[in-house]
């Protein structure tokens, strides 16, 4: 079977937005809540407080995102919900009125598409919420409710709010706020398929699927793919699976997953023993123990051989998300760790995803701290924004950085060097994670050219030829990286 994935994703740079925290509209809008008591924007977020970000605010920042080089946005959930993160869905057909409702979302999709920016929504199809109408009916009417078989009811009475009694229904991760759907019920399955179709017809460019590994009904995700792709063959379907995802990446289900198998070794390599274990220990990925270049190279080679190449090119690669601490905080505030990891992210096959605020140096420990309000311009780290812009521009300028093959050239001690090759276009990326400058010299095979223009970074580089062999010498400053190429 020939695997097909959406072509645009291979050339995308994603930006992940947590809608309550990215931007509040500055324009006069028709708001339902005119005098809401929002939590102060710059204060530490709380688990239940709202800061009042909305979709109009996103529209007003599209120029900024375009200048950054972003051409795709992944939104964490936007549907009506009684939680600031909106993973507790009340109504899958209504965009939350706090965000501006369906009208604001229509305006946003049109504004994004005018700028050639794709829009991917978060699909929370494993569970709903206590406030979801169908479940609410069960709470009101007990076994008499016509919706009983839509959920996994285990006994009566249900206790949706009082923890002194058993919930008597299955909640995701034993959380009674999140009743799990009974996906074996054909009505439930059809309901979810129709939601997926509805928003693709509305104009979204894909779905990011929340905890899809929880849904074990045979054929569910195959049907989901078939029905979404029947409407838009180029729609992107990406699953939140943190570990080995071969089960879902066989070409019949997802186009990619959130690639934490890239995240973990990349952080372990670039941040090393700076990693704050408190920020990573209870997560489903292991950015520890520290890795040196040879071990990092082995893990990356293993990852690149795990899935078909067509799938590798549509993986969603990331350094942080709403489910993790931000890399700056994981690395104990070490800015070099973040720059080195960002260099590796933006030169890796697959679609890089930047978590809002990372590009201006926003810190954040585990949730809720990692979901802070996007900082005011006065608090931006300008140098961090500058290297993000530069690396994203290089990725857009050189097709080899997007779809070229990946070849490790050298991996010893603290120095890791690889090439991205597409036809005659060849680039070399080198990273030194050590705290001392390192001179290295090694034979390069498999390249037709000798890339020598410093496109990024400040290393010293030189080539020499002995007989049939080409040797590259690099002097890499401490905690730095570079990209060598030819002028475009």
Q: Mark whether 42 is an active-site residue.
A: no
**Catalytic, out of 122, 240, 323, 334:** 240
Which tokens sit at 418? 């690889």
CA distances from 255 to 96, 246, 352 (A): 28, 11, 15
H-only helix segments in 87-217: 101-114, 133-141, 186-202
CA–CA distance, 322 with 121 (Å, rounded to integer): 14
CA–CA distance, 270 with 203 (Å, rounded to integer): 39
Half-sphere exposure of 210 (CA within 13 A, CB side): 23
Q: Mark whether 116 is an active-site residue.
A: no
Helix (H), strand (E), coil (C) string for 91-127: EEEEECHHHCHHHHHHHHHHHHHHCCCEEEEEECCCE
Three-state DSSP class for residue 221? helix
Residue 6's beta-bridge partner residues?
none
Residue with tokens 């979302």: 105
Rounded to the nearest 5°, which phi and psi values hold at 464?
Answer: -145, 150
CA–CA distance, 262 with 276 (Å, rounded to integer): 19
**Catalytic, out of 20, 39, 210, 426:** 210
Three-state DSSP class for residue 75? strand
∠ at Cα 13 (433, 262), nearest 5°? Answer: 40
Please name which of 178, 190, 195 lies closest in space to residue 130, comparing C-alpha atoms: 178
Residue 332 Ramachandran class (φ > 0 left, ψ -120 to 50 alpha, else beta): left
E strands, 322-459, are 351-355, 405-412, 415-422, 425-432, 438-444, 453-456
Residues marked as catalytic: 210, 240
């Amino acid at each position: 079977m020939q695997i097909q994935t959406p072509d645009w994703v291979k050339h995308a740079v994603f930006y992940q937005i947590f809608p309550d925290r990215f931007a509040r509209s500055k324009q006069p809008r028709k708001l339902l809540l005119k005098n809401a008591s929002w939590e102060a924007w710059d204060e530490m977020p709380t688990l239940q407080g709202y800061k009042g970000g909305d979709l109009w605010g996103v529209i007003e920042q599209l120029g900024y995102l375009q200048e950054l080089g972003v051409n795709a946005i992944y939104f964490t959930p936007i549907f009506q919900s009684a939680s600031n993160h909106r993973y507790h869905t009340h109504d899958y057909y209504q965009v939350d009125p706090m965000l501006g409702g369906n009208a604001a979302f229509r305006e946003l999709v049109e504004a994004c598409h005018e700028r050639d920016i794709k829009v991917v929504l978060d699909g929370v199809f494993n569970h709903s919420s206590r406030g979801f109408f169908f479940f609410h009916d069960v709470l009101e009417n007990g076994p008499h409710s016509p919706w009983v078989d839509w959920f996994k009811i285990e006994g009566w009475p249900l206790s949706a709010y009082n923890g002194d009694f058993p919930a008597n229904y299955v909640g995701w991760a034993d959380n009674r706020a999140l009743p799990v759907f009974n996906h074996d019920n054909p009505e439930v399955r059809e309901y979810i398929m129709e939601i997926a179709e509805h928003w693709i017809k509305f104009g979204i460019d894909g779905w990011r699927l929340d905890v899809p590994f929880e849904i074990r009904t045979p054929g569910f995700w195959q049907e989901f793919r078939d029905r979404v792709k029947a409407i838009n063959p180029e729609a992107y379907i990406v699953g939140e699976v943190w570990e080995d995802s071969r089960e879902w990446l066989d070409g019949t289900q997802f186009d990619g997953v959130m690639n934490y198998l890239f995240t973990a070794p990349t952080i372990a390599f670039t941040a090393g023993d700076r990693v704050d274990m408190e920020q990573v220990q209870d997560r489903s990925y292991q950015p520890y123990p520290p890795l040196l270049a040879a071990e990092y190279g082995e893990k990356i080679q293993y990852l690149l051989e795990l899935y078909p190449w067509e799938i590798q090119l549509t993986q969603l690669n990331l350094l942080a998300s709403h489910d993790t601490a931000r890399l700056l905080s994981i690395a104990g505030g070490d800015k070099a760790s973040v720059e080195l990891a960002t260099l590796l992210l933006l030169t890796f096959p697959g679609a890089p995803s930047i978590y809002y605020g990372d590009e201006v140096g926003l810190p954040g420990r585990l949730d809720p701290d990692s979901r802070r309000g996007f900082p005011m311009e006065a608090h931006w780290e300008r140098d961090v924004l500058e290297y993000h812009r530069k690396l994203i521009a290089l990725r857009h300028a050189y097709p080899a950085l997007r779809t070229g093959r990946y070849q490790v050239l050298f991996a010893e001690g603290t120095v890791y060097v690889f090439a991205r090759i597409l036809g005659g276009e060849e680039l070399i990326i080198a990273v030194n994670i050590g705290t001392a400058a390192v001179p290295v010299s090694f034979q390069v095979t498999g390249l037709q050219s000798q890339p020598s223009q410093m496109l990024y970074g400040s290393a010293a580089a030189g080539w020499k030829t002995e007989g049939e062999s080409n040797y590259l010498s690099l002097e890499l400053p401490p905690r730095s990286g570079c990209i060598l190429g030819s002028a475009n």
